[in-house]
Amino acid sequence: MEKALMADLENLAYRRGIIIPAFKPYGELAGFYDYGPIGTAIRNRLESHWRRTFIEKMGNLEISTTLIAPEKVFEASGHLANFTDPVTNCKKCHASYRADKLLEEFYEKKGDAKMAEAAKHMPFKDLDEEIKKNGIKCQKCGGELSDAEPFNLMLGTKIGPYGGVQGYLRPETAQGIFMDFKQVFRDGGYKLPLAVGQVGKAFRNEISPRRMLIRMREFSQMELEYFFDPESASLSINGEEIDESVFSEKINLLTAEMQENSSDEKYMGISIAECMSKGYIPNKLFAYCIYKETRFMEELGFEKDSVRFRQVLKSELPHYSKGNFDMEVDFFGSFEEVSGTAYRTDFDLMNHQKYSNEDMSVINSDKKIVPHVVEVSFGLDRLFWTLLGSKLFKDEKRGWDVLMLNDYTSPYDYAIFSLQRDDNLNKKAIEIRNVLLSKGMRVFLAQSGSIGKRYAKADETGIHYAITVDYQTLEDGTVTIRDSYDTSQKRVRIEDIYKM
């Protein structure tokens, strides 16, 4: 089987209702998508595995904070002043474009991967020069484009019956965690380092939403904020010292130097330990988070050579960061960011202390400290979309596509089909479904359509195993289990499935 194309993924997502454009009866509004039943099931699996990896197994904490905050919060966090993207406007029809993405798409069409990558990180002045040099015009009317200028991505709202308080929809979930950290730390009697995570919606008024779930205006994040004492000689995770042997793990890294020298290499292989010794990674906690992200992606089924870490250039570092790695996935020939690891220092807590006049320090080992923070932030929608893109294959022999998801990410453990439309077969299929549900299994039961069409739907929506109930089932209590990966089938006793 060969990998499917982007057009195949989009077609499958719409045709099977995995993704549904929001407000569809009224026409599409760019950057907003709903998830259908299959899409929701897969996304829930990703979220569950993130929670299992970064919260439950590590003994970390999870909270849930509000979507809206007053203006002062984002003034303190720096988002009002610094949370911008480059916008260019058509001087004729006034259409707006994100300048870096316009240039990136131009070079992608030319087949110049090096310049397409460089466009992602160019200063405003360089973007203007490249757009003019290449004669890039408005895509709608062909008009001349203006110089790029900063556009703030915050979505504002008025709070109160007369709009007396200016508020904003949060552009990240992190600020709620910073607001609540001191109380969580104090009430639980914890020690540093302490990680607090959150899954939830974030909002950005994107200039040019693109590639469906890659750049959205409403999206979901899975964020972990690790609070720690930067002067501590040792590093433990919830009381257990880190086993530094994990730093021998090799990662694919695109360094800042490689980017500045316009290297033809997509990345180089390097151990996490060597990244620390060369100064690419700012501290040991950051290194441990990189290790956990690497293992997490492998468990989801991403191929190792399709995932890289990009060292963020100094010129593009977020205003709060002293070091960033973006984890990127090869998505139909273009590396797209799915998570960011940032050393936020004490920027956020110190700024909130300054603007609120509330002491943000805590007592840790008889020492008063404003902790530093390492953040691991995943975009759930991007993770979902790049996973589907990496696991969708074309099978000419079957005549349909196959979404090869593993047991961590498949929407259901089993699909159950009755071979024919027969009350006795349907009754037995329902009985098997109910037993599997009682054992905590996730089960999809389909009772209509030919068996071939039902197999096709299971294959295309990532259900690894299908159980078929036939007349032999009624005689001897056996069923057929079909593996969607290779279409192989075997006959097993129903009781053996119950024991799995």
Alpha-carbon distance 332 to 328, whole Å? 12
Does 117 share its domain with 256?
no
User: 161 to each of 72, 117, 157, how far by Cα in Å?
Assistant: 19, 47, 12
**Mean pLDDT across the chain:** 94
What is the predicted pLDDT for the residue at 262? 87
What is the predicted pLDDT for the residue at 449? 85
Q: Kindly state whether residue 455 falls inside one of the protein's structural domains.
A: yes
DSSP string, 195-263: EEEEEEEEE---SS-BTGGGB-SEEEEEEEEEEE-TT-SS-EETTEE--GGGGG-EEEEE-HHHHHTT-
> Last residue of some domain: 120, 152, 184?
152
What is the predicted pLDDT for the residue at 198? 98
Here the tokens at position 26 are: 């009224």
Q: Kindly state whether residue 148 falls inside one of the protein's structural domains.
A: yes
Does 94 share its domain with 218?
no
CATH number of the domain encompassing residue 104: 3.30.40.230
Residue ranges of the chain with per-residue pLDDT less than 70: none
Q: Kindly state whether residue 397 falls inside one of the protein's structural domains.
A: no
Q: Kindly state whether residue 476 falls inside one of the protein's structural domains.
A: yes
Q: Kindly state whether residue 457 falls inside one of the protein's structural domains.
A: yes
Alpha-carbon distance 155 to 149, whole Å? 18
Does 488 share its domain with 376?
no
What is the predicted pLDDT for the residue at 319? 79
Does 364 share its domain with 418?
no
Does 72 share its domain with 121?
no
> Last residue of some domain: 358, 390, 422?
390
Domain count, the chain: 3
User: Which tens digit of pLDDT belongs to each residue from 93-134?
Assistant: 999 999 999 999 999 999 998 899 889 889 899 999 999 999
Sign, CA torsion 270/274/275/279: negative
What is the predicted pLDDT for the residue at 28? 81
With contact defined as beta carbons under 8 Å apart, do 303 and 390 qualify?
yes
Sign, CA torsion 83/89/94/97: negative
Q: Kindly state whether residue 143 falls inside one of the protein's structural domains.
A: yes
Does 73 share its domain with 160?
yes
What is the predicted pLDDT for the residue at 131? 96
With contact defined as beta carbons under 8 Å apart, do 321 and 343 qualify?
yes
What is the predicted pLDDT for the residue at 446? 87
Does 139 share its domain with 199?
no
Q: Kindly state whether residue 219 falls inside one of the protein's structural domains.
A: yes
CATH number of the domain encompassing residue 459: 3.40.50.800
Does 366 share its domain with 475?
no
Parent domain of 426: 412-499
What is the predicted pLDDT for the residue at 233? 75
User: Which tens digit of pLDDT belongs to each residue from 385-417?
Assistant: 999 999 999 999 999 999 999 999 999 999 999
